[in-house]
Amino acid sequence: MNFLKTFKPVLQASKLNYTLMFFISLFLLSSCEKVVDLDLSNAEPVIVIEGNISDQTENQFVRISKTIPFTESNSFNGYTGAKVTVTTPSGILINFAEVSKGLYRSQRFRGTPGQTYKLEVLADGKLYTASSTMPYPVGPDSVGFKKLSFFGNSNIYPTVYYKDPAGVQNQYRYLLKINSKSQTDIVFEDRFNDGNAVSDVIIYDGDDIKSGDIIDIEMQTIDRNVFKYYFAISQIGGNGGPPVAPANPDSNFNNGALGIFSAYTKSTISIVLK
């Protein structure tokens, strides 16, 4: 039994994620896990688009791929030959050129908070479009660590402190790296702490943090649809709760494409655990 999975819901309860108490009882009832072979059917490949525009002057990227069968090795099944453009609110068309299989890159530019961007992808003769509005930036005031202990298992988790702007709906996304290795991405919203000094504990299921480790955190502000998309993924992933009926998260693309287009702001902070 995976201890973190057991207690993750409790930890998240500190962020009002109180619905997920289930695995506590599973622990007490000594459940067991086993890897099994299943005969899974293979669905027709579907296009997946992951588009990003940040508020930093840099090359922006769009990744286009197709789904692969469950039994294959995890890999990015890049899609070649798509036509990719982003339109700014003032009508400027930005082209993205394919730099490697499925990876499309723009010239260096930055998005402006408050503006709505439209991404268009022409692939297999079908046009896929999505829009995203870049939120206003909110940066971290500081990053610290929290030691949380349940049933004798204790771990250290990074915690981001910031002041949430009052009166607006904000959504946050964190990307956590430890010694340059990606650990998790996780989303939060301010529904229960609008306008307050907030501390978001980044609970993750990966390498434990040790003294001397370099912790990189990218804090993003994301629009509502993007938040719902990532929140749905975390819900389907079980999130430590009872089994839910899985479904694809609602994408902001039309025409049945999977994936998400996000215009976001970012600030990064790096810290070493003493």
Partner 1 sequence: MLFLKNIFLTIMLLLFCTISSLAQDNYTVNGVVKDSLSGETLIGVTLKFMGKAQVGTSTNAYGFFSYKLSSGDYDLSVSYVGYRTINRKISINSDTKLELNMVPDNILDEIVISSERRNDNVVNAQMGVAKINLSEIRNVPVLFGERDILKTLQLLPGIKSAGEGNSGFYVRGGSTDQNLILLDEAPVYNASHLLGFFSTFNSDAIKDVSVFKGGMPAQYGGRLSSVLDIRMNDGNKKEYTAEGGIGLISSRLKLEGPIVKDKGSFMISGRRTYADAFLAFSSDSSIKNNTLYFYDLNAKANYQINDKNTIYLSGYFGRDELGLNETFGFDWGNTTATLRWNHLYSNRLFSNTSLIYSNYNYVIQNFLEENNFKVSSSIRDMNLKQDFQLALNNSHNIRFGLDLNHHTIAPGNITASASSSVNEVTVEKRKGSEIAAYISDEWEVNDKINMVYGLRASSFFLFGPGNFYRYDAEGNTTSTKAYSSGDLVKSYFYLEPRISASYQLNSSSSLKSSYTRNTQNLHLMSNSTASSPTDLYIMSSNNVRPEIADQVALGYFRNLNEDKYEFSAEVYYKKMLGQIEYRSGTDLRGNRNVEADLLFGDGRAFGIELFLKKRFGKINGWIGYTLSKTERKFNDINSGQWFLAKQDRTHDVSLVGIYKASERWTFSSTFVYNTGNAVTFPGGKYQLNNKTVFYYSERNSDRMPDYHRLDFSATLEGKPGKKLQSSWSFGVYNLYNRKNAYSIDFRDDPDDKSKTQAVRTTLFGIIPSITWNFKF
By CB under 8 A, name the one of 19, 107, 142, 255 that touches partner 1.
19
Q: Pull the structure tokens for residue 197.
A: 């000094």
Q: Could you give the CA distance from residue 259 to residue 262 in angstroms, rounded to a whole number?
A: 10
Judged by CB under 8 A, does residue 17 bind partner 1? yes
C-alpha to C-alpha distance for 253 and 250, rounded to whole angstroms: 9
Q: How far is the CB of 61 from partner 1 (least distance, A)?
A: 11
By CB under 8 A, residue 229 contacts partner 1 = yes
CB of 245 to partner 1, least distance (A): 6
> 89: Cβ–Cβ under 8 A, 6 or more apart, which residues?
115, 116, 117
Q: Which is nearer to partner 1, 15 or 118 (CB)?
A: 15
One residue of 4, 26, 94, 122 binding partner 1 per CB under 8 A: 26
Question: Out of 57, 58, 59, 70, which residue is the one contacting partner 1 (CB under 8 A)?
Answer: 70
C-alpha closest to that of 215 among 162, 160, 272, 266: 272
The Cα–Cα gap between 140 and 57 comes to 20
Residues in contact with partner 1, counted by CB under 8 A, come to a total of 82
Residue with tokens 């990015």: 76
Token pair, residue 175, equals 């990307």
d(CA 240, CA 263): 29
Q: Which residue number, 2 or 57, has a Cβ lying nearer to partner 1?
A: 2
Q: Which of 3, 4, 56, 66 binds partner 1 (CB under 8 A)?
A: 66
Rounded to whole angstroms, how far apart are CA atoms 94 and 102? 18
Q: Which is nearer to partner 1, 72 or 90 (CB)?
A: 72
Q: Which stretch binds partner 1 (CB under 8 A): 106-114, 121-129, 136-144, 185-193?
A: 185-193
Q: How many CB atoms lie within 10 A of CB 17?
A: 18
Subset of 104-163 contacting partner 1 (CB under 8 A) = 149-152, 154
Asked if residue 207 binds partner 1 (CB under 8 A), the reply is no
- Length of the chain in terms of residues written: 274
Determine if 38 is a binding residue for partner 1 (CB under 8 A): yes
Whichever of 95 and 255 has its CB closer to partner 1, that residue is 255
208 belongs to the binding site for partner 1 (CB under 8 A): no
Residue 44 binds partner 1 (CB under 8 A): yes
CA distance 272 to 212: 6
- Going edge to edge, which strands form the sheet with 58-66? 126-133, 116-123, 83-87, 93-100, 103-109, 58-66, 47-53, 258-263
The residue among 40, 12, 9 whose CA lies nearest residue 24 is: 9
Tell which positions 238-267 bind partner 1, by CB under 8 A: 238, 241-250, 258-260
Picking from 266, 138, 269, 143, the residue whose alpha carbon sits closest to that of residue 196 is 138
Single residue of 4, 56, 67, 273 touching partner 1 by CB under 8 A: 67
- Of residues 78-97, those binding partner 1 (CB under 8 A): none
Shortest CB 108 distance to partner 1, Å: 21
